[in-house]
Amino acid sequence: MQALRTLARKLLTEGTVQVVIGYENGPRGARPTFVTLPEEAERLVFTPGCVQNLASYLSPRRNHLRALGKPAVVVKGCDAKAVAGLIRESQLKRENVVLIGVRCGGVVRDPALFEKLSLDTVADRCGDCDNREPKLVDHLLGELPPAPPASTRMSERMARLEAMSHEERFAFWTEQMERCVRCHACREVCPLCFCVRCLADKTMPQWIESSAHARGNLAWHFTHAMHLAGRCVGCGECQRVCPADIPLSLLNRKMAQIAAQRFGYKVCDDPQVPAPIGAFRKEDEQEFIR
Amino acid sequence: MNIYQPHLMRVEEIIDETPDTRTMRLRFKDPRVASSFSFKAGQFGEYSVFGTGECTFCIASSPTRKDYIECSYKKVGKATTGLRDLNVGDDMGFRGPYGNHFPLTLMEGKNVVFIAGGIGLAPVRCVIWNVLDLREKFKDVTIIYGARSVSDLCYKRELEDWATRRDVKLWQTVDPGGETPAWKGEIGFVPTIVEKAAPRAENTFAIVCGPPIMIKFTLPVLGKLGFTDDHIYTTLENRMKCGLGKCGRCNIGKVYVCKDGPVFNAAQIKTLPQEF
Amino acid sequence: MKKEMFISDSDLRALAQELLTAGTAVIAPVQKKLPLGERIEYARVQSPDQLVFNQAVSANSLKEFIMPPTVAILCWKQRKAEVELQEIPRDPTPQVVIGAHPCDAAALAVVDRVMDWDYHDELWFDRRNQTTILSLACTAGDGTCFCTAVGLAPDSSRGADILLLPTANGFRAEVMTDKGEKLVKAHIPRFKDLENQQPLPALEAAKKKIAANLRMDSKAIQGLLEKGFEHELWKTLGLACHGCGGCAQVCPTCHCFDIVDEPEGVDQGTRRRNWDTCQTAKFTLHGSGHNPRADQNCRIRQRLMHKFFIYPEKFQEVLCTGCGRCARVCPGGMDLPEVLKMLTAKAAL
């Protein structure tokens, strides 16, 4: 942690960046913080409570953050994949951000409730993390901690869903969608949802009804999942922030599985590796074109 | 019935004022509403096409003319596109009147200067007709109106009418470059023509409406001529939905445009925070 | 009829059953099993066994039962040029809330003010009038609750038709309104003499704990906000905010809404009122493309202004009942009690 604070102080003092986006300890656990003065770097921390994906603050939509100047961002492996996505899709130039990678042993799913990592408290996504040492970095800090507790919660839930028939699955999602109030928190926190004008907000034509009934909600969530297919990094922020506790990660994880099966693609933090959306290979299967 | 239920209206007449501005004359379908409906100059309503939504416009006709109301608008999005698709004889909705109004009783016995630009003439036209229909209550009436070009002038038929009236002094202008060879009016931005027309400030009220930039440059001219802020009136617009103070959308600081406005005088405008 | 009575836990559940049998909707905190885990939330119950008392603040507020996230305003049918408007039947289903948190009951009374401002909002008041609220004083508030700071308390009776105070064997029931009296009379066998039933000591402990969570000066904050539109604090307060509006969704007093038309087929449809939030960019986006609140700093400012300056200026009370849900749900870590403490300090300068 001291290395992080020292580095942040240095970057700010030398004017390499104007703001360091990292984590601090807040009233309800670790939370995002924006350090603009070198002496404030003392409040930066990196603990198992640092669950938020800070890459979302690099989105072009956040004009009030852009006004601060060039940022440095603390990134875990999953966060780095999101930054890679932004670079890959031309939303961010690599040279316009300093990436401070941290070696990660997993984070808790709710920093307000849990401080220590355990099988019970670990976030869903950490169970099968493949990027504990992010590669898309300018600096890499910290000792490599032990692997996160191997929680199987996510795969169990996926297995339960896949065991259902199509009718049962549709009934399951309809029931979940009755709870959605269309706050779009899932969209606003997603680092890959950077469209200044989201399809769901377009009125001419009204592609997706904005009212919070199951019909409109299903349309929104299915469209959202499709637009994230092959792009979602699985950080699970959408699910964590949902006020109605809808298991959105399940949808996105399924899309990721399909992307892997069909296109041999797994989200990674190398912006040079092309994604299925935005790249075409001759070997791509085309059996759906008849 | 609830407060969000609109009256049913029938489109009686459609006039294309300019390539992008249209006026519609609407009649209440329910004769009881038609005979009891009343409003004051400056108030607005929510006009809707069922299927595309509601839009907020001032009532552009005068309260002195019963049986119908009018609105003028430009096509900018979904709801106004819905309005443009209406034909004479189609049904639509109207909720209102909402908001405050121009203080005409204060202006009785005084001179009135109307200054408008482009489609800003719509809310002002409501007051102009109100004043002209009660002409003997007011002293000198001056109208200064301009638009980008000749084709952008709204209410052309009424401008002709006002031009011929002896009891109205009308100045018409187009922006430099907007004139046609046949144009006989002024050439210059509205604030420049206001300076040229130099209306007397003594015992006079000014009603100003138009694009923000026009208002920004007109107010200092009026100030120089001696107009005090409490004698200059304008209308503000803001994004609205309910029109009656509940949806929390149209406030500028603590002022709700739908309840405390849309009519404000320059003194009030100066106290508003930069949020419009 | 006495104003203070006793009702045991089993009698309260039996009362719930009587209401259900009579066709009245019963809303109460329940332990809801979700794919992601369990949580306490207000829900319509099918059985009195579902009722859960004396637990932490529920995840949702009572707002959705008085102002649903989406509600029809009117329906229309169109044949060629003619439109026929159909009124929405005014929902007559009575509902009783058993175990409302006092912050949630009070919130409804606070929002009543704007819903009755010059125009009486039938969509709100129809459901409001059909709802009887039995508030249950809180013994389980956490470090984020701050009802005391906004003039309420864990045992506040504001907005309650009957206030329940937990005792060793059940609840002390204080009848606050005519509606409450009507309910008691209809189920009088359930209510017994109060005798010596004292509220649990946990209640006093909860009151002390919540009061210690936050001390703020509402009047001073109101003054600071009134003069502080251009204050430099707005440059940094909104940095972490994602503009998701999660705070507004869970907030019991946030009531801002949108009105949309939804065609359902070629010639018919519904006009709806939907929850909306000032935290999104498009809330104030004009058709011309101009946006008076163009970035998140402006939008955070609006939220605080509306709650702690504009509403009190008009209605003499803040648009907040201290439930703390906004802080619990915020993905960016924004913490309203922390902000209010900071504003109090700045106002004192």
- Do A24 and A127 belong to one domain? yes
> Given a cut of 70, is residue C206 above it in pLDDT?
yes
Asked if B203 has any chain A CB less than 8 Å from its own CB, the reply is no
Chain C environment of B238 (Cβ under 8 Å): 284, 286, 292
| φ, ψ of residue A162 in degrees (nearest 5) | -70, -20
- Do A131 and A169 belong to one domain? no
Nearest to A27 among C239, C240, C335 (CB): C335
A232 falls in which pLDDT band (50, 70, 90)? very high
Nearest to A112 among C272, C297, C328 (CB): C328
Of C95, C123, C112, the closest CA to residue C28 belongs to: C95
State how far the Cα of B233 lies from the Cα of A216, in Å rounded to an integer.
44
Asked if residues A227 and A207 have their Cβ atoms less than 8 Å apart, the reply is no
Is there a domain that residue B43 lies in? yes
Task: For residue range B66-76, list pLDDT tens digits in order.
Answer: 889 999 999 99
Chain A environment of B77 (Cβ under 8 Å): 203-204
Single-letter code of the amino acid located at C131: T
| DSSP letter assigned to residue A58 | G
Q: What percent of chain C has pLDDT over 70?
A: 100
Task: For residue range A89-128, list pLDDT tens digits in order.
Answer: 999 999 999 999 999 999 998 998 888 999 999 998 898 8
Of B111, B87, B72, the closest CA to residue B206 belongs to: B111
C159 falls in which pLDDT band (50, 70, 90)? very high
> Given a cut of 80, is residue C68 above it in pLDDT?
yes
Asked if residues C126 and C91 have their Cβ atoms less than 8 Å apart, the reply is yes
Min Cα distance C247 → chain A (Å) is 9
Is A188 close to C245, i.e. CB distance below 8 A?
yes
- Do A174 and A76 belong to one domain? no
Is A241 close to C249, i.e. CB distance below 8 A?
no
Asked if C264 has any chain A CB less than 8 Å from its own CB, the reply is no
Provide the residue range defining the domain that includes B140.
Answer: 104-235
Count chain B–chain C contacts defined by CB atoms under 8 A. 124
- Do A132 and A12 belong to one domain? yes
The DSSP secondary structure of B47-59, one letter per residue, reads EEETTTEEEEEE-
Averaged pLDDT score across all residues of chain B: 94
Q: In what order do the strands lie in the sheet with C82-87?
A: C82-87, C70-79, C268-275, C257-263
Q: Are strands A29-35 and A19-26 parallel, antiparallel or unpaired?
A: antiparallel
More confident residue, A281 or C95: C95
Is there a domain that residue B140 lies in? yes
- Do B108 and B212 belong to one domain? yes
* Lowest pLDDT segment from B3-17, C32-46, C190-204: C190-204
Residue of C nearest to B276 (CA): C292
CA distances from C194 to C2, C14, C132, C170 (A): 9, 18, 22, 11
Length in residues, chain A: 290
Is C271 close to B52, i.e. CB distance below 8 A?
no
- Do B119 and B227 belong to one domain? yes
pLDDT at C1: 65
Of B217, B211, B157, B150, the closest CA to residue B186 belongs to: B150
| SS3 of residue C325 by DSSP | helix
Is there a domain that residue A79 lies in? yes
Domain spans in chain C, listed from the N-terminal domain onward? 4-348
Asked if C308 has any chain B CB less than 8 Å from its own CB, the reply is no
Min Cα distance B79 → chain A (Å) is 9
Chain B environment of A197 (Cβ under 8 Å): none
> Given a cut of 90, is residue A38 above it in pLDDT?
yes
The CATH code of the domain that includes B196 is 3.40.50.80
pLDDT at A180: 93
pLDDT at A61: 86
Is there a domain that residue A279 lies in? no
Asked if residues C77 and C282 have their Cβ atoms less than 8 Å apart, the reply is no
| DSSP letter assigned to residue A199 | G
Is C59 close to A56, i.e. CB distance below 8 A?
no
Chains touching chain C, criterion 3+ CB pairs below 8 Å: A, B
- Do B91 and B109 belong to one domain? no
ipTM of the complex, rounded to two decimals: 0.91
Of A148, A87, A99, the closest CA to residue A123 belongs to: A148
- Do B56 and B173 belong to one domain? no
The CATH code of the domain that includes B37 is 2.40.30.10
State how far the Cα of C178 lies from the Cα of C185, in Å rounded to an integer.
10
Provide the residue range defining the domain that includes A169.
Answer: 153-263
Nearest to C261 among B50, B251, B274 (CB): B50
| SS3 of residue C254 by DSSP | coil
Is there a domain that residue B226 lies in? yes
Chain A environment of B78 (Cβ under 8 Å): 203-204, 206
Is there a domain that residue B62 lies in? yes
State how far the Cα of A106 lies from the Cα of A101, in Å rounded to an integer.
14
Tally the C-alpha atoms within 13 A of residue C91's C-alpha that lie toward its C-beta. Answer: 22
Number of domains in chain B: 2
State how far the Cα of B48 lies from the Cα of B54, in Å rounded to an integer.
4
Of A36, A177, A182, A247, the closest CA to residue C39 belongs to: A247
- Do A86 and A200 belong to one domain? no
Is C263 close to B241, i.e. CB distance below 8 A?
no
- Do A73 and A199 belong to one domain? no
Neighbouring CB atoms inside 10 A of A268's CB total 19
- Do A137 and A12 belong to one domain? yes
> Given a cut of 90, is residue C198 above it in pLDDT?
no
Is there a domain that residue B266 lies in? no
Asked if C298 has any chain B CB less than 8 Å from its own CB, the reply is yes
- Do A89 and A162 belong to one domain? no
A162 CB contacts (<8 Å, ≥6 apart)? none
- Do A8 and A120 belong to one domain? yes
Q: Residue B5 class from Cβ within 10 Å (0-12 exposed, 13-18 middle, 19+ buried)?
A: middle
Asked if A93 has any chain C CB less than 8 Å from its own CB, the reply is no
State how far the Cα of A195 lies from the Cα of A224, in Å rounded to an integer.
12
Neighbouring CB atoms inside 10 A of C81's CB total 14
- Do B23 and B38 belong to one domain? yes
Q: Which two tokens stand for residue A151?
A: 């929680």
Chain B environment of A206 (Cβ under 8 Å): 78
Asked if A163 has any chain C CB less than 8 Å from its own CB, the reply is no
C162 falls in which pLDDT band (50, 70, 90)? very high
A286 falls in which pLDDT band (50, 70, 90)? confident
Length in residues, chain C: 349
pLDDT at B1: 79
Single-letter code of the amino acid located at C52: V
Asked if C91 has any chain A CB less than 8 Å from its own CB, the reply is no
- Do B76 and B108 belong to one domain? no
A251 CB contacts (<8 Å, ≥6 apart)? A221, A222, A225
Q: B221-245 in b/e burial notation, b at 16+ Cβ within 10 A?
A: bbeebebeeebbbbbbbbbbbbbbb
> Given a cut of 80, is residue A290 above it in pLDDT?
no
State how far the Cα of B171 lies from the Cα of C159, in Å rounded to an integer.
60
Q: What percent of chain C has pLDDT over 90?
A: 86
Is B50 close to C83, i.e. CB distance below 8 A?
yes
Chain C environment of A66 (Cβ under 8 Å): none
Cis peptide leading into residue B97 (ω within 30°): yes
Min Cα distance C299 → chain A (Å) is 11
CA distances from C245 to A195, B242, C238, C257, C276 (A): 17, 20, 13, 12, 8
- Widest Cα–Cα separation across chain C: 72
- Do A130 and A228 belong to one domain? no
Residue of B nearest to A201 (CA): B78
Nearest to C246 among A62, A67, A183 (CB): A183
State how far the Cα of B210 lies from the Cα of B9, in Å rounded to an integer.
28
Is A245 close to C260, i.e. CB distance below 8 A?
no
Residue owning tokens 């059940």: C170
Q: Which two tokens stand for residue B108?
A: 């009785």
> Given a cut of 90, is residue C169 above it in pLDDT?
no
Chain B environment of C112 (Cβ under 8 Å): none
Taking residues A250-271, report their average pLDDT.
89
Q: Which two tokens stand for residue B246?
A: 């509940």
State how far the Cα of A28 lies from the Cα of A62, in Å rounded to an integer.
24
Number of domains in chain A: 2
Cis peptide leading into residue C263 (ω within 30°): no
pLDDT at A196: 86
Asked if C18 has any chain A CB less than 8 Å from its own CB, the reply is no
pLDDT at B193: 94
Q: 3-state DSSP helix/strand/coil percent for chain A, to nearest 5?
A: 40, 10, 50
pLDDT at C37: 87
